[in-house]
Structure 1
């Protein structure tokens, strides 16, 4: 009983001495140094620079009048100490006087002299602003800043606190510096001209004195001459189809139709002065019409026997039209069909493709007629950029007086790849192309100009747009972008994991994170990602990122 009383008395006496002496060891959680803003998240720019701007709040009665407070912020990356930042030191009044006498009498060199501030009173608590800029090393995506708080004044003990200051969220490192390049190509066209020509029975020679042949041939020449005579136009495919009649042997009519197409080719060669090279590439062929046009004409005319013709065509679908003709000839209306619905004119069709070099409006408002040289230089510069030949790409494009939008966009990318960001931005702001707008958005993002980046990227539906939206905390917008994006790469899945984490969709988060962590780089990053803090102790999360 006596031993118990003695122990209780000793513990009470020790507590009193500790209070009277002002020692700081054993601080309760209610009287610890705090930092505001609470749960601060630091977002480095694309150069890794980030600013720690906080206020340390020292509670009342934390310091005695004989104490020195030392706060040493530290940067931890991957759980390891990377560097100690500038310390924050405050001397209470009595401690400051003692330190002054020590410097004078003992010539003492205080290691904290450059960082020390004095306060008049400490009993009511302190608010100590702290601002420091630091750089996150290249390749590091997550980390944290904590502060070691040391209170040393009595000479016999040291109080020690650890304060979580901020976490590092480096979403800027998810921005992809991919730029869109625009190849310049001649404009592609497709054309078709049909004419109805009369021929002598079973003959293929073209005669302008039959029927409406003269006006039909004039129409054909008027359509083709501008294309064939243009030296800046390149004709690709050119096919001439003769249409086979439904009446008579299919084999005979097909051969006859082909010969009539051949006759038209000869006529074009003579009348339009076609280049021999194009003449050799012209393809002639025949195309059977069958009995369907006859049936359709009878239906349009309201002929009562069209019902029987339709039944025959349905009964023998896809067969040789000679079989269909065999039954149609037996109809009582056959003579009527011959006189009213078998066409006297035979259709011939010219189908072709061509490319043309058209004038282009330059970025300075001038029209560039047929920019063939600039087109070739632009496309060659794109190849150089893809091969890493940045100097050569710029050299190919630097001497034009007036620039097409596509060329200026390519030149801007070349300047960026050379490291001249200022020139790249200046050029991109002059280009009115969707690709240039998106490129400017990427450029702004790479410089950490997030609001401007989002303005140019908005609507692009790109992964970069979603990342910038997350940086700006536009979480719902980022969710909508990723829902429409077909990209299923690990990086895209990581961005989806960030989105679902912020929106609280735990099930989807686990799925996307698992897909993302197939890439080791992202798996290591996920372990320290501030957005995933709430999952840190979950078994499934630990299994995914281990």
Structure 2
């Protein structure tokens, strides 16, 4: 909770601080046309950290740069811009505003001459804060020396069923204060102690003076339904003479909700599209080859040899004849059963595999094999594998017999082979298990660099999108550039699902969502490196601003170079952070709806309306903004006409109408 009524002691402390070179301290008083001090006026400059406010005496002190321009705003008065020049002490007179809404008046418990009057009140969104501005008069002849008056504003969030206290205003009469100082407690002691922290002891209150109140609290969600209620209590000693709760504002004022982000939503061009990459294919399986006993030479007339060898010759021939394909690896591994001498089996197995490999590659061109890795290997299966296979088949007795032999031979292959022939289970081992371990396995890889036309890419997409390369997927998306935004979003999200590193899809999707006020701050996080394209960083700043993550947005914006391309995003950053005057230096040169929105934020309602008369934008959002401008200038009929146009173009804007403090009073008239 941030209270803007600056304590005088704090102001005095500011006056004695050292002033840096290039800066100075300006003091002054702000009064109305009758010479009465104006409290709660806000004084700012073009620098976001230079801000002051008047106290109940209308005085202020502000540290600022030498050539600063002061901007003075206050609820109920026209905005004022002043260039103090060399003056360091100012007297500023504000002109009453003619755009007040009807007063909110409580008469339920007071006589006619004792009305509790709150002038037009606003609940305005500025950055991440809800700023309450109001003015009120104290009822005549109601407050006296024996009284305490408590004025407690609350922010009510109906959406979340939540109530937040603003800073209370408490006035104690002199006699009431004496009662408190003597330790007399009336009612709830905690409540009395709480309000005593804010109490100001006074002789009396001028019922003719308008008292300005300004306070703020953090906003939960700008789309929640808010209202501002004020609890008022007047107590005389221990008796409550008056209690009431009234609503002084409904909805929130936030024209920035219609701010257009198109000016800083950049797509990447096709120079960032990924080049076509070679596809890798890997095939493996088993070859059914037959060799004559004790011979390594392969005879194609034996068994299925001819058919098996021809199968692989055709595969290699197909790779050889297709210019888009390239063989990268080919291997054959031969496994032989363990019976017999280990060295003999190992040598014979290797020779047989080499013979098969030569037969396959005999007619393949050398250029095809130059870039490929060719391997062959012969492996003798150990007796342990036979024992394990018998156990898996639940042959307990037979496997135990072989297992005992393996242990007695201490794993020596040749001794096991000699002893196995004398086992009772050997016929079973010879006929059922040893053939299982005589096999030849193949393994080959090749790459394919394909270039497809759109119809071919479309056919692959319809069959299985995961088969498309990143380059092909992007070409497919580009082929649907004219489709509705929802279809383009679906395709880009699908592309990122299969190719998470597809930068151009992530960036352009982010730009699309930014333009539709549906920012996704997660899309570009993987790509936010120092080398990231400027467009990526700009789109991320806009996404962070839209989701009201101001701290990270400001940090990232500070890393952007100062150039023409970043002017728009810097102006948007100023606008979203409440620096409307700075943002207007850019958007004031444009013909976009943003110019009118900033004028409304600066309370230049007449200028906003005049600009909107010739603004070429007639979207639903633009019509809604026209309604805001008209309603602020009390042109109710025009406001209703523009609102009806906006709702006819975009019925979902009714949800905003229900929470918008600028036009909420027109809702019943619209219905």
Report the TM-score when normalising by structure 2.
Answer: 0.40
More helix as a share of residues: 1
Report the TM-score when normalising by structure 1.
Answer: 0.48
Greater RCO, 1 or 2 (C-alpha within 8 Å, sep 6+): 1
